[in-house]
Amino acid sequence: MVKKIILVFKTHFDIGFTDLSSNVIDEYADSMLKEVIATCKATQHMGKQQYVWTMPSWPLKVIIERCSSDLRKELDELVERGQIVWHALPYTSHTDLSSAEEYIEGLRYGKELSEIYQKPYVLSAKMTDVPGHGIMLPSILSGAGVKFLHLGCNAFANPPKVPFLFNWQSLDGEKVLTMYSKGGYGTSLLPPKDWEYPVWMSLMHTHDNCGPQSAAAIEKMVKEVHMKYPDVEVVCGSMDDFYLELAKCNLDNLPLIDKDLADSWIHGVATYPK
């Protein structure tokens, strides 16, 4: 029986799909950042349910370099409060197009953010849209200290045949705990009926470059959870928060996948952002 639900909030960073690449970055560093700051402030009276926004590491690194000094000050304060966080990966990629060296290089942005803000290195990673990734990925992530990976497949792509939660093992034996959402970027608000663990990650994911949810939306989610599970603790947090809770459970019987997760969307590498 689930005892705790962790609400994790994120938008899908898509550079070049909704607008020119330069315009997308400018939006993140200005109008979207203002929206995030507003939601964070509007929920600070809500205790454990105050808004926490998760970002890929590269756009957040770019934001702190490009935003105005006033916005940078507010952003820094929210990072200190734990209301703006990042995951280990720079963005979603077609992994099979990258060399191992290129992929490892992409992990430096998250490390740099941890050093800038004197925060622990993050344990979780997230990719969205692309259905599958190469077998080198678990080895690279594990070698960088990443323990948990969430993959959210685009609803119009063919996902690989994998369980919802499994250990993904590379050829060298390195593993990463992996959650795979088929047909959606995140997860459901409530756990599926067969979820056997006391903690659930409700990964509430907005669509391409849509920005944050509102304080009213968070309150509505909490009420919806309590209508079904009156005694469940509902908090806002990060993927790391979820992993650290889940890791306390017995995960010995999880399925083991030791193969590539086929990328049926690899033709995307022939495209170019606006």
Domain assignment of residue 274, yes or no: no
Residue 56 sits in a domain of what CATH number?
3.20.110.10
Domain assignment of residue 113, yes or no: yes
- What is the per-residue pLDDT for 263? 85
| Dist. CA 35–CA 151, nearest whole Å | 26
Q: Which H helix or E strand runs over 242?
A: helix 239-246
Residues 196, 201, 207, 213: is their CA dihedral positive or negative? positive
**Quick count: other Cβ atoms within 10 Å of Cβ 156?**
9
Distances (CA, A) of 31 to 26, 34, 81, 90: 8, 5, 21, 21
Domain assignment of residue 200, yes or no: yes
Which single residue is written with the structure tokens 């705790």?
A: 4
Q: Which H helix or E strand runs over 24?
A: helix 21-29
Q: At residue 15, what is the residue type?
A: I
The pLDDT tens digits of the residues spanning 191-245 come to: 999 999 999 999 998 888 888 999 999 999 999 999 999 999 999 999 999 999 9
| Dist. CA 61–CA 39, nearest whole Å | 20
Q: Are 149 and 141 in contact (CB under 8 A)?
A: yes
Q: What average pLDDT does the segment 245-267 reach?
A: 93
- What is the per-residue pLDDT for 272? 67
- For residue 179, list its beta bridge partners: 150, 165
Domain assignment of residue 97, yes or no: yes
Measured torsion, CA atoms of residues 80, 85, 88, 93, in degrees rounded to the nearest 10: -140
Domain assignment of residue 203, yes or no: yes
Total domain count, the chain: 1
Domain assignment of residue 178, yes or no: yes
| Structure token digits, residue 170 | 């590379």
Domain residues for 176? 4-264
Q: At residue 153, what is the residue type?
A: C
Domain assignment of residue 273, yes or no: no
Domain assignment of residue 204, yes or no: yes
In Å, the largest CA–CA distance within the chain is: 50
The pLDDT tens digits of the residues spanning 89-145 come to: 999 998 988 899 999 999 999 999 999 999 999 999 999 999 999 999 999 999 999
